[in-house]
Chains A and B, each alone.
Chain A
Amino acid sequence: MTQRQQLVIIGNGMVGHHFAESFRQQAGADAWQVHIVGEEHHSAYDRVHLSEYFQGKGHAELALGTLDGYREAGIEAHLGVKADHIDRQAKTVTLSNGDTLAYDKLVLATGSYPFVPPIPGHEAERCFVYRTLDDLDAIRSAAAEGTTGVVIGGGLLGLEAANALKSLGLHTHVIEFAPRLMPVQLDDDAGQVLRAKIEELGVTVHTQTATQSIDTLDDGRLQLNFAEGDPLTTDVLVFSAGIRPQDALGRDCDLDMGERGGICVNNHCQTSDPDIYAIGEVALWDQKIFGLVAPGYRMAEAAAAHLDGGEAPFLGADMSTKLKLLGVDVGSIGDAHAASSGAISFRYNNEAKGVYKKIVTSADGKRLLGAILVGDNSVYDTLLQYHLNDIELPAEPDSLILPTSDATPALGVDALPDTATICSCLNVTKGDIVGAVDGGCCSVGDVKSETDASTGCGGCAAMLKDVVDATLEARGIEVDHSLCEHFSHTRQELYHLVLVEEIKTFDELIQHHGQGRGCDICKPAVASVLASVWNELVHDEPHVKLQDTNDTFLANMQKDGTYSIVPRIAGGEITPDKLLVIGQVAKDYNLYTKITGGQRIDLFGAQLHQLPDIWQTLIDAGFETGHAYGKSVRTVKSCVGSTWCRYGVQDSVGMAILLENRYKGLRAPHKLKFAVSGCTRECAEAQSKDIGVIATENGWNLYVCGNGGMKPRHADLFATDLDDVTLIKTIDRLLMFYIRTADRLQRTARWMENLEGGLDYLKDVILNDSLGINADLEAQMERVIDTYQCEWKATLEDEEKLKRFRTFVNSPEEDDNVVFVQERDQIRPATDDEKQNLIATA
């Protein structure tokens, strides 16, 4: 066997990780043993969204790679370990834990470090930088008892750090040496507009201010002394004065370096030593460092291809940015400062509204060279496409930024060539998106998962939607929101009509708001709405004709017309006596039994007329309907939890039973599944459920909108460390809000994906009551819970209803077309051939 070659990656940041992923996809990857060395003890995470750490995301949500993932891919990860030295002769790397790794090829992806100006006193305990999760942990704990925070540096990252301090409840100051904020991306006027907007939000901005020294006061707070003006006292100080390439390793082993740092690379990202590559923020290409993630990713791909003998040269990258800083739109494209020769600029400045827009064009006014936007990014996508694709500007280029009575002349996505990049993070072109639609994707969500577009910074979301919609439209696929030919309303609209006009029956609704008799689409949908609002029994007289066969007969129809029976087994907990009853019923009626994927038992093969007798026996033994037939709460899966398990921190079974009993019978736009795990090992798989609950030392973490099934989705962390009462309140509200606003047959996962504003919006509504409807939602849930009845019990008590459970109205015979054969000691439906044979031999 040939020895595998050794490939060592130093740096497990965004770009190092992306390199590992890209390299794995190369044809020759198997010939290599890959090592990745990272100084941080966390595996690679999404640094671009670092600030979301303060909004409740943990490493798990931000993670790009996991140790398990690396292990599965055969990559050896050395985390929490620093590479100290490279010996280019021996071709080895020495690590801080004393190990030495031999390499055939080496990739440096060590990124950059925040520059801290050597102001006297800058090493004080309450001084921080803003780059890693550890930095954020330190800032958070220092901010805990403080009132004031200062950021030194008013650039892009400085403002982001200021936002973070503000979100921690600190009164925040930003100190910038230059005369304006974001000096690199903005001009003076734009900086002025941005400053006014940010000050409106309560952040104090000091420009043209040089900090001369930092004193630590007796109480541990810091005092900043300036060249001019009064000193400032603060609890927390964050330096954000620019970044410097983390290039010490390269310098020590004498690779070619830039004058002001950075390891020089060619178009394949090779350094002056052809066996060593450098990518990401540590690499200097054409005298430029790219401080953004997208160019780093392109470098990673170029290096990965080259290592495998291929070619995907890196040829520079666009540095345009679009951001929301402290809630203010800021955009900067290309040559924002009109530095190119002959460039002319057009400006629009609206001080009243705090909007500033500038475009820079070529001398002939035909090409867009750059732009600056503050306060309104609506034309960013259009401008960027003009810029990147060299599209000829309209005769009056300023029309692009001037307000008009009509909508701004947007550049229709039709005008873009197929090669136009729509998502620069993931390098997805218009052509890729059109291809995905032609390959069967019918929604933005589908296209996202197919092409990965818009899964990076998210800045391209609006553009992506435009391209997808335009492409669908061009293919003649109309996105019609009517429920069906009988109602030109969406499910949400019907829900509101029912609620507001207090409509209690389908007939009333269709008379006033629809046409015709209805159909198998609108009838069950309206039945579900009526049930969620009024909670009358689904098979009461006015509703019974609306139900799908499963709801009508309170059982699931199988392929041969027989039914299955699923008693509720809340939380998966069942007594031996009840197990015996189920066993006895199955034997008495010759039913096939199976443990379901939802932690309960399904009995198959009952004919219509047998259902009441079977259910009578089950109900007498204390069972209830399991609603396996309804668009309603199915199961709450549980793990065994703290009662038995040595790791459990809460009683997950108890909570699962409580939740299942609380929400059983709740009708919803689609089925609802829950799970409760007793600790973070997550044996109940709660993160794949509509509602997932995971025990913590202090209570429960709530996850929402997960899905298994056809298109799995990991649930989002919604709230942490809730006590029992708050947990239930939160779930009450969330479920009712879902019931009110989701589409027909839309699971919570798809609902969330389509919800404008997404997770943040949902949190705002449910946790902060931003719509002021929470009391209402809770009351409505209370009403549904209070009116719960077991549908099977109610049916068995009503002779009229039982009449329907007859195989034939005019004969006590059974359906002779239902034929079973034996398999593995139980029955199963006979195939057509088997039926023929059985009849022939009878």
Chain B
Amino acid sequence: MTAPRRMGLTGNEAVALAWKQLRPHVVAAYPITPATQIVERFSEYVAQGEVDTEFVPAESEHSALSACVGAAAAGARVLTATASQGLALMHEVLYIASGLRLPIVMNVANRALSAPINIHGDHSDTMGSRDAGWVQIYARNVQDAYDRTLLAVWVAERARLPVMVCLDGFTLTHSLEPVEVYPDEAVREFVGEAPPDGYTLLGGEPITVGPLALPDSYMEFRRALAAAMERVPRVLEEGVRAFRQQFGRKLPALVEARGTEDADVALVIMGSYADSAEQAALRGRVRGQRAGLVRVVTFRPFPAAALRETLAGARDVVVLERADTLSGLGGPLGVEVRAALYGLPQAPRVTDVIFGLGGRELRDAELDALLQGELPGGVVYLGVEGAHVLEPA
């Protein structure tokens, strides 16, 4: 194990560097804020001959992901990146990538959706893709974005499922942080030269990929896809073990818990605001409140068992999330946390806090005030002029 090199990198730079080290056969992508620099930086690597990837600068995100589908079906290692409207435009092809069991890895620079147009961070984009059959992993910081991008290729190629590695727009994509970068050879050793198995269009034998499946066979295909997703936690656990062995870093696979063992109030969050939430929990501890934090690392498949186990003892669960379902039930994470806790004897009360839409800052004072008062349950929009509480339908 060679020592890692410490570098100052933005989230986008760290992802581009991970891509270079992963040496994909094909990258097909389209620029969009705040993911653009991933593709820009990677194009420079290609132009300088630092990586021998076939770069397909597609004319849209729909075509970018379509090209990824073609390349992955040909047996290539394939990476792409997008955000927001770009991910929305890819929506149709997301389902095809997972349905064809193609191990494409995509970095998503999380950004709000139009209208009104907004280039800043929230999770509306990837939450809209949550049921597309992609594994979804949310990075906490730049190091995590780098590590998870490397890990995602290992996992995708073994689970035979596409993986999104999500990093918060601007708060991670454009923030410079110290990152421990592993030697190229170590990355090569970790992921190998090409996907270890799977089908290819280029093997010489006739193979029909993407056939028409009618009611007599379609459900079996979809059930097999669900089964593949059910196997992902195991693959992820193996992946983080292999990762630790290769690089010496221990990564949580599904959830990351801090101070939840004795917590009365457990915060649940995804992405880069985990740091702010952890600080809020620590401030709670200082005030004498037994507060803890659970970060959902892998949102798909949903870590229901891990959350039940971690949250069962809490009186209150406060879900902090940057997306809304607009269903009257709050945000998607809140809905699914409630579903995971349903049926527990003395299940915790869940307050679903929607914050940070379109890059709105999370203010410590607002969060502290919420945690110090009587938690209302239901849905809270935090930091909104004229904020109000919705009762669950």
- The answer to whether A and B assemble together is no
